[in-house]
A and B are shown apart, each in its own frame.
Chain A
């Protein structure tokens, strides 16, 4: 893992911190829109290293966290249907829906299985032709291609007992909603590396051009994150607003058109509901007409009761970057990774979980 060590090199970090301190710009509010960034920032204490120069704020970048309560409730109901094997990525298991969690539903006998990729779910469907295998399609532009592939693969092999509940989300429309929101003042976006491998840098241009907010696409190691902060602060100091790529070893302006084509073959862009952001136009992926028969929403007659948001939970504001996790009254008291009230405390990439796990102070312990 040489490439990782290089980007965690203490000397390189110290030099970058020094360079950031020398930039002549007012303290900036910078939002990262990727859970992996959130986790890396918390793990390495990067906020603390540069707190005089920048306030790093977590945005809606954790796929588990932004999944709407109603979508979790739907999937839980489907998982309880007889003959169904409900498959999901692991970090969805403990997220509380309105009335239960997948982990608890499994303990009560629901056919819930953790898989590492949607291809594993197709394999399960192949091995259990008498069962209905449904995959919880959660994630951003990064995960959507693999899910679309799984649909094409299942169709190609005649695996008809496989379906997907698509709750996929798209990042640029969320940024659009964020920059338009009246309660958020952001001086720059640390844009997600993995997502940008797929979509490239162009979809962020409108943020820089129309809204005057600089963007830097960043990798996930400490050196990446600090380098992107340095680039953002340099833009702020110079009064520029452009889209720049720090994560050049993986991201190109064009992205990966092949992956996007696969997504486009199966899904179409629709309005979607986000935890925290509410209904965001053109921000989700749903099955297109050609593949509608693989759409779990059509295949199962599931009607969960109206979603209930837990009282006092401020995940929505945390996800919009309006408050820091500690400002929520439940943080570290009623809401901990052990007994999460809100989604942001569950996933390892959630802003609250990352803050609690790595950086909580004595008072919150």
Chain B
């Protein structure tokens, strides 16, 4: 029996067989494999094959970035935001990661029977406020109500379109040795805020989600003419998952310096207590920016002058190899691998 169960197999998504686990949605290795083997293979086309946060298509001489995203967060309201703000910011940031400014959004709501209308109104208002901040309108939508238990409170699915400026060529496969890696501030704040807000954990820490629209920050980078190579908003799976994807797709090694990683003391404490690595914890208002070293200073100046960019900093560099590896130069000397998470972050015992 065990022979079969543990037999190596080229096409299984999980040990013990072929069912979907929560870990397949956690932004880690299992999710990447599911997307590659099922969705990219199934819908195969050149745009999808690039595996970017937005698909960029050419229409009538313009380059249009198109993205879609679903939001299923628990709890629906958390310190620093709610599912509505998250939906607007997530959509805007996926477009921004392609260098695009948002032109319009769609938002669909799946509501669980019994949902408080006041809560729904709050979510709609904060979605609207974040969209206003980003300068984008919700121009269409859809509403469904499902029986109690068929959805958890409410789910939101969005789509967004935006225009990619002519001089911008951003891709996860464009990182080159000699590039610098930048981020616009503290790592892991959204994930840490959600974990602390979930029932049952009261760490007495003041952590708010970093949830924010980053289109103006990216706009400033584009305007400054920084020769942007890659951008990623490191959401589920955190900085680790985003950089592992870039390292793999670009065929390069990415090295971070532990001492220059911005991690707020409260996030660090929460992660120490829960046994999690801040590099694997989700962000919703951060952008990883990879560009030639000699443009780093100019980029930092542009980012620091933009909304949500004051704490921008260089965190590492792109090296020749080994291809596909992300590593951390620790403060005390030795270098270690930064692995992409497998599935859900699982707090440890003791």
Are A108 and B336 also in contact (CB < 8 A) when A91-B346, A139-B349 are?
no
A45 touches B21 (CB 8 A): no
Q: Inside 8 A of B275's CB, which chain A residues have their CB?
A: 91, 348-349
Residue in contact with A311 in the complex, picked from B6, B199, B334, B348, CB distance below 8 Å: B6
B336 touches A93 (CB 8 A): no
Are A42 and B201 also in contact (CB < 8 A) when A4-B272, A334-B8, A340-B15 are?
no
A90 touches B347 (CB 8 A): yes
What 0/1 readout, one digit per residue, does chain B (262-287) give for beta carbons within 8 Å of chain A? 00010011001011000000000000
Are A104 and B14 also in contact (CB < 8 A) when A49-B334, A359-B337 are?
yes
Count residues on chain A whose CB falls below 8 Å from chain B CBs.
66
A106 to B16, CA, bound (A): 13
Chain B nearest CB from A310 CB (Å) reads 5
Is the CB of B307 closer than 8 A to any CB of chain A? no
A348 touches B2 (CB 8 A): no
Interface of B is mostly: loop
Q: Inside 8 A of B343's CB, which chain A residues have their CB?
A: 94, 103
20 contacts between A and B (CB under 8 A): A4-B268, A8-B331, A13-B333, A44-B336, A63-B350, A89-B347, A90-B344, A90-B348, A91-B346, A106-B21, A107-B19, A114-B347, A143-B349, A194-B350, A222-B332, A310-B2, A310-B6, A337-B339, A338-B30, A365-B322
- Considering the complex, give the chain A residue whose CB is closest to the CB of B29: A338
B349 touches A103 (CB 8 A): no
A305 to B88, CA, bound (A): 51
Q: Inside 8 A of A308's CB, which chain B residues have their CB?
A: 1-2
Chain A nearest CB from B259 CB (Å) reads 8
B334 touches A91 (CB 8 A): no
B272 touches A1 (CB 8 A): yes
Q: Inside 8 A of A8's CB, which chain B residues have their CB?
A: 331-332
What 0/1 readout, one digit per residue, does chain B (8-36) give for beta carbons within 8 Å of chain A? 10001011110111110000011001000
- Considering the complex, give the chain B residue whose CB is closest to the CB of A139: B349
Q: Inside 8 A of B322's CB, which chain A residues have their CB?
A: 362, 365
- Considering the complex, give the chain B residue whose CB is closest to the CB of A11: B332
List the 3 shortest-distance A-B pairs measured between CB atoms, nearest first: A45-B334, A90-B346, A120-B200
Q: Inside 8 A of A115's CB, which chain B residues have their CB?
A: 200
A13 to B334, CA, bound (A): 11
A138 to B19, CA, bound (A): 27
Which among A1, A103, A349 has the highest number of chain B CB atoms within 10 Å? A103
Is the CB of B167 closer than 8 A to any CB of chain A? no
Is the CB of B335 closer than 8 A to any CB of chain A? yes
Is the CB of A111 closer than 8 A to any CB of chain B? no
Q: Inside 8 A of A356's CB, which chain B residues have their CB?
A: 339
Are A116 and B201 also in contact (CB < 8 A) when A93-B346, A96-B15, A311-B2 are?
yes
B347 touches A103 (CB 8 A): no
Give residues of chain A (1-26) contacting chain B, Cβ–Cβ below 8 Å: 1, 4, 8, 10, 13-14
Give residues of chain B (297-350) contacting chain A, Cβ–Cβ below 8 Å: 322, 325, 330-337, 339, 342-350
Residue in contact with B16 in the complex, picked from A89, A100, A194, A358, CB distance below 8 Å: A100
Chain A nearest CB from B331 CB (Å) reads 5
Is the CB of B116 closer than 8 A to any CB of chain A? no
A349 touches B348 (CB 8 A): yes
B335 touches A45 (CB 8 A): yes
B15 touches A101 (CB 8 A): yes
B265 touches A1 (CB 8 A): yes
A35 to B275, CA, bound (A): 11
- Considering the complex, give the chain A residue whose CB is closest to the CB of B325: A365
Give residues of chain A (110-140) contacting chain B, Cβ–Cβ below 8 Å: 114-117, 120, 123, 138-140
Q: Which residues of A contact B (CB under 8 A)?
A: 1, 4, 8, 10, 13-14, 35-36, 42-46, 48-49, 63-64, 89-94, 96, 98-101, 103-104, 106-108, 114-117, 120, 123, 138-140, 142-143, 194, 222, 308-311, 334, 337-341, 347-349, 356-360, 362, 365
A337 touches B342 (CB 8 A): yes
Is the CB of B60 closer than 8 A to any CB of chain A? no
Which among A106, A123, A308 has the highest number of chain B CB atoms within 10 Å? A308
- Considering the complex, give the chain A residue whose CB is closest to the CB of B20: A107
Give residues of chain B (202-253) contacting chain A, Cβ–Cβ below 8 Å: none
Is the CB of B5 closer than 8 A to any CB of chain A? yes
Q: Inside 8 A of B22's CB, which chain A residues have their CB?
A: 103, 106-107
Chain A nearest CB from B108 CB (Å) reads 26
B333 touches A49 (CB 8 A): yes
Q: Inside 8 A of A358's CB, which chain B residues have their CB?
A: 336-337, 339
Chain A nearest CB from B64 CB (Å) reads 36
A100 to B21, CA, bound (A): 13
Are A108 and B201 also in contact (CB < 8 A) when A49-B334, A114-B347, A143-B349 are?
no
B336 touches A43 (CB 8 A): yes
Q: Inside 8 A of B3's CB, which chain A residues have their CB?
A: 311
Q: Inside 8 A of A63's CB, which chain B residues have their CB?
A: 349-350
B350 touches A1 (CB 8 A): no
Q: Inside 8 A of A94's CB, which chain B residues have their CB?
A: 23, 342-343, 346
